[in-house]
Structure 1
Amino acid sequence: MHSDDPTAPLAPLTQAMLRAAKAAGAEAADALAVEGRSVSIDVRKGGLEQAERSEGLEIGLRVFVGQRQACISSSDTRPETLAAMAERAVAMAREAPEDPYAGLADSQRLAMLRSADGLDLFDPTADPDPAMLQEDARRAEAAALAIDGVTQVQSASAAYGQQAIWLAATNGFSGGYARTSRHTSCVAISGEGTAMERDWCGEGRVFQADLPAPEAVGRLAGERAVARHGARRPKTGAYPVLYDERVASGLIGHLVAAINGVSIARGSSWLLRAMGEQVLPKCLSLIEDPHRTRSSASRPFDAEGLPTRARNLVADGVLQGWVLDLASARKLGMESTANAMRGTSSPPSPGTTNWALTQGTASRADLIAQMGTGLLVTSLIGSTINPNTGDYSRGASGFWVDNGEIVYPVNECTIAGNLRDMLGRIIPANDARPHLAHVVPSLLVEGMTLAGD
C-alpha cells in the first residue's frame, strides 16, 4: 500500500469498474474498493504463539437496470475480470425482482467533503514491526502474571491494521479515505480446575501514540481475573442492577438497534410507534457524531456518498428520529439520515457511527453505595431479546453488592426486564471513556428480575 496516500490506487480502479458497468448495459452503478493489511501477534509463556499477517484488496460493484439491482464482488482487478464482473452483475440485475426503493442518491444531495481531512483517522507514523508487537504482547502477559492470584494467561496479543476505501458512483460521487488501528489485549485466569475464572482487558486506538502501555492492559486483566475468584450464584429476586461501563453501551445499543430503519420499515421494533415519545429519562440525550476526531467509527460521508453530520437520536429523553439509508428512508417516505453502511458484496443498509449518552454527576462508587443491595454486572453472555416487545433476558456475571459495598463475585445468573421500562429509568454515572466509538457510562437500573440460586 502507498504510505503517502493509501487511497491513490483505488480511485482509478473504481472509475474503471463504473466504465465496465456502463459498457455492459447498466443504467447506473456504484463501485467500492477496499484495501487493507493487518498484523497480529499472540504470545504465550513469553514466547511467540501465533503470528498472522493479511493483505488484500476487495472490490464490489452494484449495478442498476431500471428498478432492479445486483451486487458482485471480487479480489481480482484485471481489466478482463472487471468486464466479466460487470456483465455478470447486469445479467443478475435483469433477473432480479423490481425494488421500488433501490437507486443512487440525487447528485445535488452528495457530500462536498470527500476525504477524511481533519478527522485524524490515519496515523502517518511507520507501521510497528512484528518484533515490536511481540514485545508489547509479552509485556502485557508478564504484567498479568505478576498479579498475585493469576494462575495463567490464556492469551496476550498486539495487532496493527490499516485500511483504505474508495467509493465512486455514476451520479458523480468519488471519494475515499484511510484509517489505522492499533490494539493490545490480554486474557488472564485465576484459580484451578472447576474454580477457574477468566477476565480480560483490551485497548484499541487509531494512533499508536494514544495506546496505553501494555503493562496497564495486562495488569488490569490480571486484577479483574483475581477479583472474580470464588464466584457463586446470587439470590433470586427483584434487585437494582448496575451495568458496569464495560458493558453499559450494549444496553444503549439495544435502543439504537430498535430505531434502525430496516426494523422500522419491517414493522418489527419495540420502538415502532415511539417517535416523539419519552424513551430515556428527561435529562438524557443520545448524540451520534460521525465527525469525532481520532475515533475508529468516524467518517466524512456514508456508503451512498451522502454527507454525515452530528445529530440527536434522543434529546432530553425524547426519541428524535430513525437511523436511515436511502432505501429504508424511501420505504418510510422520509429522507436518508446518511447512515448507509456496506461491504463489497452487498447493498447498503443503515448503521450508526459514534454515539454518546449524557453522563451523570455521580461516580460508579456513588451508584454502588446508592443501590444498597443488588448486582454489579461486568460481563454479559447470550441474549434473548424480543424485537417486537423489548422483553429482555441475558446471562450475567459480576459482583454482589450488599449495603452499598461489593461483597463477593457472582456468575451463572440471568437478568431480565423490559427494555422500554429499563431505559426509562436508567441513572448514569460519570465514568464513560471518551475515546470509544460508543461513549456510555455505568448505568444503574432499578427493579430488575434476577434469577440465581
Structure 2
Amino acid sequence: MGAGHCPGPFPIAARFFWGNDMNGFDKLEGLTRQLLDAARKAGADQVDAIALEATAVSIDVRAGQLEHAERAEGVEIGLRVLLGGRQATVSASDHSERTIQEIAERAAAMAREAPVDDTLGLAEPDELAKSTDTAALDLYDHETPPTPEALQELALRAEAAALAVDGISTVESAGAVQSQRRMWLATSNGFSAGLGRTGHSLSTIAITGSGTAMERDWAGESRVHFSDMPSPEEIGQLAAERTVSRRGARKPPTGTFPILYDERVASGLIGHLLSAVNGAAVARGASWLRDAMGEQVLPAGIDLREDPHIPRFGSSRIFDAEGLPTAPRSFVQDGVLTSWTLDLSTGRKLGLPSTANAMRGTSSPPSPGLTNVLMTPGTHTPAELAAQMGRGLLVTSMLGASINSTTGDYSRGAAGFWIENGEIAYPVNECTIAGNLRDMLMRLTPANDLIAWRGMSVPSLLVEGMTVAGD
C-alpha cells in the first residue's frame, strides 16, 4: 500500500525493487528453487513458491522516555501445490532442507484431499511478464537507514511538538518504524523474479482532557524514502491540533442530513466500492454490485483508476503475485463500472482474463487486490462544500461497521464536527451514520483536496441525504 496513516500501531509501508541491488536475493531464489523441486518430487502438477526475508525496527516513546523497542527479522517460505484441479498452501519459518521436503510432502497430501476447482492453475507461459525490472519505480531507499537511536530521537521530537500545543494533556504514543523486506517468487511455468521494499513511518496519538471529557486524535505518515518524510514536528503538531479541536465533543441531532467525509476517511467509503468490484466477492454472489457491470455506480464525470507504476509508491509493481504484467487501468469510467478486479482463478470463474491483480503471502493462495487507486477530484474546496451543505455532519473518524456485502446497507459509528450555516459549530462524537452504498455513491460530490503520498488517493466527499443517529 502506498503511504497512509492510521491510529494505533503504524503500518510498515510496502516498497518493492528489482534490478540495481541483488544483494541477499541469491538465498531467496535458491530456496524457491528447492521448494519447486521438492514439490515436483512429491507429485505436484503445478507449483509456485515464495521466499520472504524481512527486518523491522520499531521504537515507541512516552513522557520523554523510551517505552518500547523491538527488532524483528526472519525468513519465511511458502509453497502452493496444484494437483488434479486441487490446491493446498503451506508455509514455514524454518527453511532447512528437511523442512522443505516435509512441507512439500504435506502440501501434496493436503491437495489430494482438497475439493476440485477447475479454475485453479498457473498462467500460460506466454502470459507471464517479460520485464521484471522495477528500478525505474525507485522503490528502495539506498541511504543508510536510521539507527534505533535516530528513530527514538524522531519519535521524541514528534512527542515534544504535540505537547507544545496548548490543551494537550499527554501523548499516548509516538512511534517510528524502519523496515526492509525482500521476496522471491518462482513458479513451475517458468517465472522467477525478486521484489524488495523499504519503509519509514512515524505517528503520534495525542490526548486532551481527562475522564469522560477525554478526547484523542492522531497523525502519521509513511514513505519508501526517508528523505520524503515530513518532519516529526509537523506530525506531532498536526496530531495535537486535531486533538484539541475535539474538546467539548457532544452528540449531534438525529435526522436526515448531508455528510461530508473528510479526506482522512473518504477512502474508506470508496473502499467499500473496491470490495464490491473484487472478483472473489462477485464470483461468490456476495457483492452488492454483482449485477452492475456497465451501469452507473458513481456520478458522471468521475473515474476510478489503478496505476501500479507510480514511482516511489510502495504498492507499485511491474508484475503481480502470479507473474502477470501489470498496467494502469480504469475500472470506473465517467461513473460507469467497466471492470472487475481479478486474479487468474476468479477471472476464469467469471469467464474473463485476469486483470493482473493477484496478491498473496506465504501462507495463502493468490487473491485479487488493488494498488494505487486514484479518484477524479472535484472543483470545490471542502470549505465550499461545507458552505453548500449548510447543516450537516463533517466526519473525521469512524469506528465499527455494519456493512451488508450483498445489499450494500451501511451503518457506521462516526465522530467529527457539526456544521451550521456552512461552518463548524462544535465537535461531535458517539453518533451513527447510515444509508445504502449504491444510493450514497450516486449522490456524492468530490472536493479538490487530493493528498499526496496516498495509496488510495480520494478527496473529501459530500454525500446527500444520510441518516444520522445522535441525541
- What's the TM-score bracket when you normalise by the shorter of the two chains? over 0.9
Out of 134, 149, 162, the residue aligned to residue 116 of structure 1 is 134
What is the distance in 1 between the residues matched to 2:24 and 2:238? 35
What is the distance in 1 between the residues matched to 2:292 and 2:177? 42
Q: Check if 1:326 corresponds to 2:344.
A: yes
Q: Tell whether the 8 Å contact from 1:237 to 1:450 is kept in structure 2 after alignment.
A: yes
What SS does structure 1 have at the residue aligned with 2:49? Answer: strand
For residue 286 of structure 1, what is the amino acid of its counterpart?
L
What is the distance in 2 between the residues matched to 1:43 and 1:8? 37
Answer with 77-86 or 29-38: which moved more: 77-86
Measured against aligned partners, the alpha-carbon deviations of 1:205-228 in whole angstroms (never above 9, x if no partner) come to 111000000000000000011000
Q: Tell whether the 8 Å contact from 1:398 to 1:411 is kept in structure 2 after alignment.
A: yes
For residue 375 of structure 2, what is the amino acid of its counterpart?
L
Q: Check if 1:296 corresponds to 2:314.
A: yes
Equivalent residue, structure 1, for 2:465: 447
Out of 353, 362, 381, the residue aligned to residue 344 of structure 1 is 362
What is the distance in 2 between the residues matched to 1:127 and 1:5? 16
Aligned runs of 1:194-209 on 2, under 5 Å?
194-209=212-227
Equivalences, count? 452
What SS does structure 1 have at the residue aligned with 2:137? Answer: coil
TM-score, normalising length: structure 2? 0.94
What is the distance in 2 between the residues matched to 1:115 and 1:20? 28
Q: Check if 1:371 corresponds to 2:384.
A: no
What is the distance in 2 between the residues matched to 1:425 and 1:7? 50
What is the distance in 1 between the residues matched to 2:182 and 2:111? 28
What SS does structure 1 have at the residue aligned with 2:36? Answer: helix
Q: Check if 1:219 corresponds to 2:246.
A: no
Q: CA RMSD in A?
A: 1.2
Higher relative contact order (CA 8 A, sep 6+): 2
What is the distance in 2 between the residues matched to 1:168 and 1:7? 12
Equivalent residue, structure 1, for 2:11: none
Equivalent residue, structure 2, for 1:160: 178
Shift of 1:91: 1.5
Equivalent residue, structure 1, for 2:87: 69
Q: Check if 1:270 corresponds to 2:309.
A: no
Regions of 4+ moved over 2 Å:
2-9
Equivalent residue, structure 2, for 1:34: 52
Measured against aligned partners, the alpha-carbon deviations of 1:237-266 in whole angstroms (never above 9, x if no partner) come to 111100000000000000000011111111
What is the distance in 2 between the residues matched to 1:100 and 1:406? 57
TM-score, normalising length: structure 1? 0.98
Q: Tell whether the 8 Å contact from 1:114 to 1:174 is kept in structure 2 after alignment.
A: no
Shift of 1:4: 5.8
Q: Tell whether the 8 Å contact from 1:116 to 1:176 is kept in structure 2 after alignment.
A: no
For residue 394 of structure 2, what is the amino acid of its counterpart?
L
What SS does structure 2 have at the residue aligned with 1:9? Answer: helix
Q: Tell whether the 8 Å contact from 1:184 to 1:204 is kept in structure 2 after alignment.
A: yes
What SS does structure 2 have at the residue aligned with 1:282? Answer: coil
Shift of 1:427: 0.7
Shift of 1:7: 2.8
Shift of 1:115: 3.5
What is the distance in 1 between the residues matched to 2:238 and 2:311? 27
Equivalent residue, structure 2, for 1:23: 41
What SS does structure 2 have at the residue aligned with 1:8? Answer: helix
What SS does structure 1 have at the residue aligned with 2:354? Answer: coil
Out of 86, 103, 106, the residue aligned to residue 124 of structure 2 is 106
What is the distance in 1 between the residues matched to 2:154 and 2:296? 47
What SS does structure 2 have at the residue aligned with 1:132? Answer: helix
What is the distance in 2 between the residues matched to 1:6 and 1:152? 43
What is the distance in 2 between the residues matched to 1:272 and 1:86? 37
Unaligned runs of 5+ in 1: none
Shift of 1:9: 2.2
For residue 226 of structure 2, what is the amino acid of its counterpart?
Q
Equivalent residue, structure 2, for 1:400: 418
What SS does structure 2 have at the residue aligned with 1:73? Answer: strand
Out of 444, 456, 462, the residue aligned to residue 426 of structure 1 is 444
Equivalent residue, structure 1, for 2:188: 170
What is the distance in 2 between the residues matched to 1:64 and 1:375? 52
Q: Tell whether the 8 Å contact from 1:156 to 1:185 is kept in structure 2 after alignment.
A: yes
What is the distance in 1 between the residues matched to 2:418 and 2:202? 30
Identity rate, percent: 60
Q: Check if 1:87 corresponds to 2:143.
A: no
Answer with 164-173 or 65-74: which moved more: 65-74
For residue 258 of structure 1, what is the amino acid of its counterpart?
A
